[in-house]
Amino acid sequence: MPIASTKDAQIAALYQHIGLLEEQLRLLKAKTFGPKSERMSQLVGQQALFDLDALEADEKPADAEAASDDDVRETITYKRRKKRGPQPFPDHLPREIHEYELPPEDRQCACCGEEMTVIGKGVTCELEYEPAVAKVVEHHHYSYGCAPCKQADEVLEAPIRSAPRAPRLIPGSMAGSGLLAFVIASKFVDGLPFYRVERLMGRLGVKLGRATMCN
């Protein structure tokens, strides 16, 4: 009998503890998710489980923070971006200037007949594009020999000197440095496959196969 009474007391204590935990969980949910008026009404008679003053103190910073957020949003709402006009063209681009002047017969003043002078000018700019141009660069290497020595009978072999040849990036290749730079940039910078580079060169009238570029 004493053992049964002890177990009953332990079970009753556990049920009481479970009930206390369930009540605390319910109040915590009401504090977290419920409206403020509902939270306060539910917490009036439960000061034994939670400190009402502490809860109100916890809510005040949240309200102040929310008000601060509203103030910030109000300030951001009335900010306006400054309108920007067209951006100027970079200074490193070459510029081609076209000047437009009145012919001499139109410079006569209609009032007094005197010739009018320039008092100002307006400048408008436009960005132009020049398509790529393929060209052939010929390197002429001249050889020099001594004419008197060549005509003399006692000279067996007349000396000959030739101008040095221009170095090439790829020995034996007919591709210039500009073409090599274009092919490499198109492939590895712009991500163009070789068949598209072949079409680009074809529009310039040059037959450059993709197999040649791969080699």
Contacts of 194 (CB under 8 A, 6+ apart): 187, 210, 213, 214
Residue 92 inside a domain? The answer is no
Decide if 132 is inside a domain. Answer: no
Which among 48, 77, 106 is the end of a domain?
A: 77
Total domains present in the chain: 2
H or E element in which residue 4 lies = helix 2-33
CB distance 194 to 214 below 8 Å: yes
Highest mean pLDDT among 44-48, 74-78, 210-214: 210-214
Domain membership of residue 89 (yes or no) is: no
Q: For 136-146, what is each residue's pLDDT tens digit? A: 999 999 998 88
Domain that holds residue 63: 2-77
Whether residue 100 lies inside any domain: the answer is: no
- The per-residue pLDDT for range 80-134, each reduced to its tens digit, is 677 677 788 889 989 999 999 999 888 888 888 889 999 999 998 998 988 888 9
Last residue of a domain, one of 77, 96, 126: 77
Q: Does the residue 86 lie in any domain?
A: no
User: Is there a domain that residue 138 lies in?
Assistant: no
